[in-house]
A = this chain, B = another copy of it.
């Protein structure tokens, strides 16, 4: 299970289940997520396997904290995972499933609505990632070439998110353009607001090549 490995990675320093839950929302959100109700029993199982030890610590407020530390076995397991093959993802992207079948509705306004909504979400996510990167750049003058190894690798994963979200926004722009070109020829399912949308300029800095067939570079 990869959750166990992500927890091992996060436990570079000792932390409680609750702490780790917060880390999933903050630092790890762009590549993993987990609920506390999954984290707690998982930590328990990892302790049974000998990858972690725990001790109780009084809390400033609220009940005792149960603080976990990685054992040398845990560290070894993490290394094994890190040195192994990159783990893929059986992609399950529900919004693409929706879009794929939206042709069965024969209502282009609905397709348009979905693309506009998606673009808005991707833009927000992108802006959040850019903000994080700006923060890192401002608070460490070694950014980016002289960063310590940990932060440097964090930057690499952050930039994966940046590239992908930029691409998603650009894809939405392209798709909306294709869609509006269609709406101009066949009147069926036409969105009355299509022409008045104020927010439709594609990003000129991020066009892979001639639309609509960037595949043909041979």
Contact = CB atoms under 8 A, between A and B. Distances in A.
Interface string A118-144: 100100000001100110010000001
For the complex, would chain A's binding face be called helix, strand, loop or mixed by DSSP majority? Answer: helix
A81 interface: yes
Among A155, A157, A164: residue with most chain B CB under 10 A: A157
A101 B84 CA distance: 13
A91 interface: yes
A131 to B, nearest CB: 8
B182 A171 contact: no
A41 interface: no
Among A88, A110, A151, A160: residue with most chain B CB under 10 A: A160
Protomer copies: 2
B93 A159 contact: no
A186 to B, nearest CB: 9
Interface stretch (A30-38, A44-52, A54-62, A190-198): A30-38
A91 B156 contact: no
A97 B206 contact: no
B89 A110 contact: no
Nearest to A99: B157
Interface in A66-102: 78-79, 81-83, 85-102
Interface string A174-217: 11001101100100000000000000000001101100111111
Given A111-B153, A166-B167, 9 more contacts: A32-B93, A82-B104, A82-B105, A82-B110, A87-B95, A106-B149, A162-B214, A162-B215, A205-B208
23 contacts: A6-B97, A9-B97, A9-B104, A31-B93, A32-B93, A79-B105, A83-B110, A86-B94, A88-B121, A96-B160, A100-B153, A106-B149, A111-B156, A133-B213, A134-B215, A134-B216, A144-B213, A146-B185, A152-B182, A156-B179, A159-B174, A163-B167, A166-B167
